[in-house]
Structure 1
Amino acid sequence: MHTHTPNGLDLLEARLRQDLSWLELPAKPWMIKKSHEGQSVIDVAIIGAGMAGLTAGTALSLLGLHPVLFDRAPEGYEGPWVTTARMETLRSPKQLTGPALGLPALTFRAWFEAQFGEQAWTELDKIPRTQWMEYLRWYRKVTHLEIRNEHQVLEVLPRADQLVELQVQTPKGLEKIFARRVVIASGRDGLGGPSLPDFASKVPQQRRAHSSDALDYQSLKGKRVGVIGAGASAMDSAATALECGAKSVDMLIRRPDLPRINKGKGAGNPGLTHGHIDLPDEWKWRIRHYINAQQVPPPRGSTLRVSKHANARFNLGCPIDEITINTDGSLAIQTPKGIFELDFLIFATGFKIDWLARPEYAAIAKHLRTWGDRYTHEIGLQDKELQDSPDLGASFELKEKNPGQCPGLERIHVFCYPAALSHGTVSGDIPAISDGAKRLAQGIVSLFYREDIADHFENIKNFSEPEIIGDEWSVAPPPQALEKI
């Protein structure tokens, strides 16, 4: 256990305030304020107050806007970190600056060293998952964002009058809220939900779960559990089941071997971070498809967390052919390796993009343009995730499939994982989240300024702060008068 340094965070927060003061941040408010139906219109409404929402909100506020974040979770429980995530540590290297937006005092390292010192930082291997959530709670506190917890956005309705209407379920009831722009920052599954194979429907609900479900793993004690998949979430789910006393865990892995190399890590450099958005379509598709097809290996630590249990079994080359239900309700899983008798099945099968699966986006789902609508991929590079990815503009904004059919759609910006094909991985993962948030914020600021240019020009004309007041000089006499002197 690390020794805690008293007052360390107080000193760090003072340093952050000083840094912001030296940098003249946040910028002074400059937006043209709007109202509608007797209420103030929000500059930018952000759906989600997890890591992406916090970073986007802070980037916008540093540029002088006032975003408002809405999250359905209670305060301090935004995102998956202390709810459905089950890894012991983050996969990202500890030194990545993540959501710090170029401010050293806002980094995880600064927060950690302020409390536990440099030696503890040197000894730290990976960041514990729950400690990352503590850091994000602190980040929220020191960035002073307006966050409305236990607010669930039920409907997003773009309009033709430069507004987006939100129907929001709040602790006080249903509210109608107006914003000029909306940013969707609702996480890995924010534009769809769990991806389940067709045969999942054959398994009774009480006998299955997706790895992202809020399942009480203590309920698996003494049971024979199967986990479909071999990625990080599969290992985390398997390990949690074993630690909670599962009788056995069979990992059912379709591939003949586990992937060994994280190709996405090999792609990470400033060139890709800043250059992906400008690549030709075929290169964007080729890179993202290659990384998808190669698959990300599970972390070594997560895999060892499973394999150290004698009752864990790795079944490779083991796709599922058929599932039948035994008379006692248990599952008979038929595979090329034989039949597995199981009591419970966990699908660690990732997520899908499916706007129609999200009732809050029902009004826009059929109008937005996907990559499948705009691009024909090369032969052999079929990829459902890429096909369904939204086709986004330079500021992460949605585009209409048929122009004029959904006025105002471009006022909705996507700042979560499905933006990766258009923008690269700058909106969902720790490494480049600040770069993405700055791109988003600068883009939105530019759009607002262009939209209100007539008002801003009037403000320029009406600006009346004098630099000089008229007593700094005296008027010279005409040249003729000088000749007589």
Structure 2
Amino acid sequence: MTTSDSASSSLAALEARLAQDLEYLGWPGRNWMPARQVGGESVLDVAVIGGGQAGLAASVALAQLGIRAVVFDRSPAGSEGPWATTARMETLRSPKELTGPALGLPSLTFRAWFEAQFGLEAWTAMDKIPRLQWMDYLVWYRRVMGVDVRNDTAVTGIHPLPDATGVRLDLRTPQGERSVLARRVVLATGRDGLGGPAIPAFVNALPRSKWAHSSDEMDYGRLRGLRVGVVGAGSSAMDSAGTALEAGAHSVELLIRRPDLPRVNKGKGAGVPGLTQGHYDLPDELKWRIRHYINVANVPPPHGSTLRVSGHANAFFNFGCPILAIEPKGDSMRVSTPKGDFEFDFLIVSTGFKVDWPNRPEFDGIAAQVRTWKDRFVPAPGDEDQELADSPDLGPVFEFQERVPGECPGLGRIHCFCYPAALSHGTVSGDIPAISDGAKRLASGIASLFYREDFDHHYANLEAYAEPELFGDEWTPALPPQERN
């Protein structure tokens, strides 16, 4: 048997073990949801927008509770999420031991999948999980858990209906434009879930062909021989710089506002079960306090990503170096900073993401109605934070809430299970460490809401339930004591 045959055999054995585990646990759960139709049109229980790790975990957690979900993703199969497209790190940033979207199933973990194919020795030798291997694992996860993903399908409109019917989604599919109705919708749309890249104003001085955001899909081979500037020093900046250097850039200058790189990932230090489970129940002041502290402290780039850049002699770390102005200069540009002027042929801005409703036309029907934190909370002087202020103020099941009660009935049927939920719920809706906790919370909350809405249906089923436990012949009625011999 070849090594490849052996790996296939071991993976098949793992899949058989997982199937047995799922059978033992009764997963997926028994279907208890009433079928709904409106005007002859079938209504989905839940539509999940986004087939990355958050969308997969949400769908599987719902299935455990007997709730059917259909996942829509605009990307081709195998390209969901950033891993095989815009992510440029060599490995994941999370420790390999984290169980991610496995939802408490040992046989569904990355480690089980990896060891089945490559063995314990290879697992022990691994430092962090290779990025593309994580994508391979998610493809396997989708297959073995039977997640219903409709690829190449973009959601172009989201319309909550006022009569408790649900939410109508406009879709662009390979077969043309269509729409579906869903009782509830889950937005599992990732880091830029309610917006897009945060683009600094200074790039307006440049033609679009001369700059890119670190999240753009781009062939870095085009940077070969060019003088490249990278704005920022976070994880994505290091990944972009490293990719540019490996693609043969003439030089890469990192322009870093801070006088030094942060050394400690405070968010990692905050990741305890108490915070994961209890963040939502904290008072507003404490929610803001912890998220603002992490934002201000900033997250350092990973050790390996930084070495990936600094190992090149043509990489330069420029601290205390914010951009003051940019001026086009023929085919290049002059970039002015407090440390002097730089000349670049291309600029990469790694400036993060922001809530930006106008950047997402599919949200036009709800954007003005969503209540945000700035609508209800005023931080202490000096603790202002635009990212937090723009965050949606979510209910206990990640649901949007109306800015003005009564003006957008049905808005609460849309659940924000992506990064902008972090202020309301903590980081349980996208990042690997607590994605299973978030998915379980979402699924159990949606199950509760469905039960409440369908109470009359379930009560009628209770009244109509007639399967006997006893048939009346299991005993003989006793005679009165005085009649017994």
For structure 2, the residue ranges without an aligned partner over 5 or more in a row are none
1:137 alignment partner, one of 129, 136, 139: 139
Map of 1:42 onto structure 2 = 44
Residue range with higher mean Cα deviation, 227-236 or 117-126: 117-126
Separation in 2, partners of 1:122, 1:35 = 52
Q: Does 1:156 align with 2:155?
A: no
Map of 2:324 onto structure 1 = 321
Q: Does 1:281 align with 2:288?
A: no
Map of 1:372 onto structure 2 = 374
**Equivalence map 1:221-240=2 (5 Å):** 221-240=224-243
Partner SS state of residue 432, structure 1: helix
Separation in 2, partners of 1:321, 1:170 = 44
Separation in 2, partners of 1:350, 1:6 = 40
2:168 alignment partner, one of 140, 165, 168: 165
Aligned residues: 481
Partner SS state of residue 11, structure 1: helix
**Equivalence map 1:31-430=2 (5 Å):** 31-162=33-164, 163-326=166-329, 328-430=330-432
Q: Does 1:462 align with 2:464?
A: yes
Separation in 2, partners of 1:197, 1:37 = 48
Map of 1:18 onto structure 2 = 20
Residue range with higher mean Cα deviation, 61-70 or 355-364: 355-364
Partner SS state of residue 138, structure 1: helix
TM-superposed CA distance for 1:354, in Å, is: 1.3
TM-superposed CA distance for 1:118, in Å, is: 1.1
For structure 1, the residue ranges without an aligned partner over 5 or more in a row are none
Separation in 2, partners of 1:167, 1:148 = 14
Partner SS state of residue 331, structure 2: coil
Partner SS state of residue 114, structure 2: helix
TM-superposed CA distance for 1:120, in Å, is: 1.1
- Percentage identity across paired residues of the two chains: 63
Separation in 2, partners of 1:98, 1:176 = 32
Separation in 1, partners of 2:113, 2:248 = 36
Structure 1 segments of 4 or more deviating over 6 A? Answer: none
Separation in 2, partners of 1:477, 1:311 = 101
The letter of the residue matching 1:395 is V
TM-superposed CA distance for 1:19, in Å, is: 1.1
Deviations 1:156-207 (A, max 9, x none): 0001122100000111111110000000001101210000111121111000
- TM-score by structure 1 length? 0.98
TM-superposed CA distance for 1:24, in Å, is: 2.1
Separation in 2, partners of 1:35, 1:75 = 29
Deviations 1:238-292 (A, max 9, x none): 1111111111111111111111110001101101101111111001001000100
Separation in 2, partners of 1:238, 1:6 = 37
The letter of the residue matching 2:209 is Q
Separation in 2, partners of 1:213, 1:186 = 16
TM-superposed CA distance for 1:476, in Å, is: 3.8
Separation in 1, partners of 2:34, 2:7 = 45
Deviations 1:349-402 (A, max 9, x none): 000011222100001000010001010111101101000000001000000000
Separation in 2, partners of 1:456, 1:370 = 35
TM-superposed CA distance for 1:329, in Å, is: 2.8
Q: Does 1:441 align with 2:443?
A: yes
- TM-score by structure 2 length? 0.98
The letter of the residue matching 2:308 is R
Partner SS state of residue 431, structure 1: helix
